[in-house]
Structure formats: C-alpha cells, structure tokens
Amino acid sequence: MKLPFAGRLLAVAVLSSLSLATPFSQALADEAKPKVALVMKSLANEFFRTMEDGAKAYQKDHANDFDLVSNGIKDETDAGNQIRIVEQMIVSGVNALVIAPADSKALVPVVKKAMDAGITVINIDNRLDPEVLKSKNLSVPFVGPDNRKGARLVGEYLATQKLKAGDQVAIIEGVSTTTNAQQRTAGFKDAMEAAQIKVVSVQSGDWEIAKGNAVAASLLNANPDLKALLAGNDSMALGAVSAVRAAGKAGQVQVVGYDNINAIKPMLKDGRVLATADQYAAKQAVFGIEAALKMLKGEKTDVDADNVIQTPVELVTQ
C-alpha cells in the first residue's frame, strides 16, 4: 500500500528520530558505565603482564559493566613515573583506581589527590603504608595475599628439604621501601629462625632479573659457605639461578622464589629452583576491580578488621 505524501513524511521523520536516538542512548549507556584505571608496577616483570592480561580478559567478559584502562611503569623503582600516570588518570576522569604501588609511602599523596577528586581507590599487590594513610586520614582497602605467610611457606619447605641447623643462607629482597618486600623478608626470616638457620645477609635486588643476578653473585663471592638464596620474587630468582651456575655451584646452593611466573616453571621441574609461591597474578587485579565496582555501587566489600580482603597464596614445588 502506498502511503499518501503526508504519511510518507511522517514515516521518514519517525525513522530519522529512531536513528538519532540509537547512538544517543548508546552514548548515555557508555557514560553511565564506570571507567576503572589499573595502574601497575613494571610491565617488564612477567607477573604484572599476567595481571594485566587477567584484568583485560575479565573486562571483555563484563564489557557492559565497566571500561578498563591499564598502565604500568618501565622498571620497579620508577615511583615518579607511576605518580604521573595516576595524575593523568585523575585528569581523564576515571571513576575508580586499582593500584599496585611502586612505593608504599611515596604514592600516598597522589592517592589522596585521587580520593579528593572523588575517585574510588583500591590497593592491590603491595600495600600502601597503613601509618602514612592514617596520617592523611585515608582509608584504602587492600586486596591481596598474606605475603609473610607465603614466604614462610617457601622458607619452611627449603629448611625441611635441603637445610640443617647452622647452615647459612641469604635473602635477596625486593624494593626495600615496599611493604610486600618487607613482609616476604619477614616470612623468610620466620622460617629460618624456626629451623635455626643463619641469615647472613639481606640485600635488595629491586625485583629485577639483572639486579638479582648481580646481588646473588656478590653474595656467593662474599659467603663461600652459603647454602641457599631466598629471592623475594621469581624475577630475582631467575637472576640468582644464573649467578649460581656461573659460580659453579649448581646443586650446591638452593634457590627459591615467589610468584610462580611461567619462566620459573621449567626450573622447578629440573631442580634449579626448589620452590616458589603462587599468588595468582591473573586474578589479583580482578579481585581489586570487583571490590572497586562494589564500592561504586555503594555495596560493602569483604574487608577484615585490618581493612584487608585476603586473596590466596600457595606453596608451589613443581
């Protein structure tokens, strides 16, 4: 049936209004969707690349719920650049910030700046210093594992499997100003003290392979009776393995790590690394994002009395 001229005009007008309304309604939906910024430490570290991949996969599966922008720094000690990234996220108008801080104290002022701008902040991986937060009247939930417990599990396995009372070991610590480095060192020391094993030195390897290698080589040279190197993450453990081999002490000096990155798995199988701890890198940012989305909706998160949402950590030996 052919519509009269007036009817055809009306139909065209209706169709035009519908075509205009569709992108407009989509724009409104996009605007209503929260934007979450994930700011990590060094993306040269496999652990954080895995974390980012997990977050992106989660966002893809929940694309209608939120948008994600992820950033990281080039090396583990570049807190200044991480601060600049957070400032950029504030200017861009994100709704939530999920951050693995490069420094537990230095990042607190910019976190305060974000919160003052109305941004919801969740702390993952490395805990912001609770006392510094308190001094700024800030409450930031921490989503992550008990690093001390994880390191203690690794240390206990090393002590029972390969060491005896009186043996000498050394610890290669992460960035010394980070809470997770301090907690892992404390966990290693807990296990060694319980087994009456002497920790002759603690030196920072800055979480990185090359620095871990250099520190391990120095420790082996200065302590010829060393029986084990306890590395605060797997990147430093990779460097330690190379140093042990170069010193001609493969099989004589044990190496343990923390993180269970893919690069360490062949070494667990052939014994170059005795043990590590898995803190589920692919899920850690997701746990933080989930907490942030809950807070944006005004829902309660499952924090304990210490403002922590505990995530799993497990001993891995093969």
Same domain for 106 and 255, yes or no, is: no
For residues 55 and 123, state if they share a domain: yes
Tokens of 8: 């055809």
Q: Can you spell out the DSSP letters for 125-169?
A: SSPPPHHHHHHTT----EEE--HHHHHHHHHHHHHHHH--TT-EE
Q: Are residues 166 and 264 in the same domain?
A: yes
Number of domains in the chain: 2
Residue 288 sits in a domain of what CATH number? 3.40.50.2300
CA–CA dist 54, 48 (Å, integer): 10
Cα separation, 23 vs 29, in Å, equals: 10
Determine, yes or no, domain membership for 97.
yes
Instruction: Determine the Cα–Cα distance for residues 66 and 36; give it in Å rounded to an integer.
Output: 7
197 and 123 co-located in one domain: no
Domain co-membership, 166 together with 154: yes
**Positions in the chain whose pLDDT score sits under 70:** 1-31
Give the gyration radius of the chain's Cα atoms.
25
| Sign of the alpha-carbon dihedral angle for 258, 60, 72, 86 | negative
Assigned domain for 207 exists: yes
pTM (2 d.p.): 0.82
Residues 72 and 219 in one domain: no
Is 199 in the same domain as 305?
Answer: no
SS3 content of the chain, % helix, strand, coil (to 5): 50, 20, 30
Q: In terms of domains, do 164 and 248 share one?
A: yes
Structure tokens at 246: 């170069």
Quote the mean pLDDT of the chain. Answer: 90
**Structural domain includes residue 71:** yes
Q: Are residues 233 and 286 in the same domain?
A: no
Report the C-alpha gap between 158 and 154 in whole angstroms: 6
Range of the domain at 155: 147-278
Taking the C-alpha atoms of residue 92 and residue 117, their distance in angstroms, rounded to an integer, is: 11
Q: Is 244 left (phi over 0), alpha (psi -120 to 50) or beta?
A: alpha
Token digits of residue 236: 């430093």
Residues 129 and 156 in one domain: no
Q: Does residue 181 sit in the same domain as residue 274?
A: yes
Asked if residue 244 and residue 208 are part of one domain, the reply reads yes
Q: Does residue 273 belong to any structural domain of this protein?
A: yes
In a domain, 2, yes or no: no
- Residue 27 is assigned to a structural domain of this protein: no
Q: Residue 29: inside a domain, yes or no?
A: no
Helices (H) and strands (E) in the chain, counts: 11, 12
